[in-house]
Amino acid sequence: MNIIDIPNYKLLNIKNIVLDYNGTIATNGKVLDSTKELLKKLSKSYNLYVITADTFGSVKKELKELNIEVIVLSSSNHTKEKANFIKKVGAQNTVAVGNGNNDTLMLKAATLAIAIIGNEGCATKTLLASDICAKDIEDVLNLFILKKSLVATLRS
């Protein structure tokens, strides 16, 4: 586990990072090589999960060489399914990252919620459910590599 003490905020014990796919780590179903390198680095310290409807049918191909568990959504209510997954892996030890309206409950369930604005934008409800907002996935992933940045963003 990765313990991050954020003064006057909370003590985080992060074990899992759960990521939405399209609009979060991928654009039009593709993941940048630089993003894959950061994911590879993080997978040595965290359990990484990608949870997606896989709109472009590319998630398994794009992430096949990485140590990431891919969850393809199967229910008729993806918003609820994502939130339930956070609870299943342990919300108190989980970071959730997303941008879409169907990520709102997932972010609310996690101990730390990060919204990404990115090329697709970010649903207002998701933004309001977040603890941090970032412009792209590489900025988010670097928060967990350079943990002092996370502390600087959240301390009060």
Q: What is the pLDDT of residue 44?
A: 96
pLDDT in tens, 59-99: 999 999 999 999 999 999 999 999 999 999 999 999 999 99
Quick check: 100 pLDDT over 90? yes
What's the whole-number average pLDDT of the chain? 95
Number of domains into which the chain is organized: 1
Q: What is the pLDDT of residue 118?
A: 86
Assigned domain for 3 exists: no
Q: What is the pLDDT of residue 77?
A: 95
How many Å apart are CA 36 and CA 84, to the nearest integer?
26
136 close to 114: Cβ distance less than 8 angstroms: no
Quick check: 1 pLDDT over 80? no
Assigned domain for 51 exists: yes
Assigned domain for 62 exists: yes
Q: Is the dihedral of CA 71, 72, 74, 79 positive or negative?
A: positive
Assigned domain for 20 exists: yes
| 60 Cβ contact list (under 8 Å, min separation 6) | 54, 70
Domain enclosing residue 66, as ranges: 12-146
**Domain at 84, CATH number:** 3.40.50.1000
**Sequential DSSP letters for 109-123:** HSSEEEEE-TTT---
Assigned domain for 153 exists: no
